[in-house]
Amino acid sequence: MSFGVVQSMIASLKSNRDLLDKRSKLKGTLSGKESKKLEFKSLKATSEQLKEIKEKLQQENKIARTKQAIMFTIIIVIITSIVMYLILIKRFIKIL
């Protein structure tokens, strides 16, 4: 009865084991090719550059917060207007 389930489990385990073998062969390489170790050049920033970066990030964050506040306000106004409309319709139907 459950032979199909057991068979699919065995097939899944076998395919996973095969994937592990391939991964271990490629370990330490870049996209499967033999290559040298990656080296990065570290650049030093001056204090002026750091200040400019800080100011730029602060300005971007300020703009993002302003956009979020505007969107939040718009959403609240829309939800409130929908609720008020539904309440008004309910009262109007109740009067009829």
Q: Could you tell me the residue ranges of all domains in the chain?
A: 3-27+46-95
User: What is the pLDDT at residue 32?
Assistant: 52
User: What is the pLDDT at residue 73?
Assistant: 98
**Higher local confidence (pLDDT), 74 or 93:** 74
For 33, phi then psi, to 5°, come to -110, 145
Question: In the predicted model, what is the mean pLDDT of the chain?
Answer: 82
CB atoms within 10 A of CB 85: 10
Give the pLDDT confidence of 1-48 residue by residue, as tens digits: 566 788 888 888 888 777 765 555 656 666 555 556 667 777 888 899
Q: How many Å apart are CA 53 and CA 47, to the nearest integer? A: 10
Supply the pTM of this predicted model: 0.47
CA distances from 85 to 9, 88, 89 (A): 56, 5, 6
User: What is the pLDDT at residue 71?
Assistant: 98
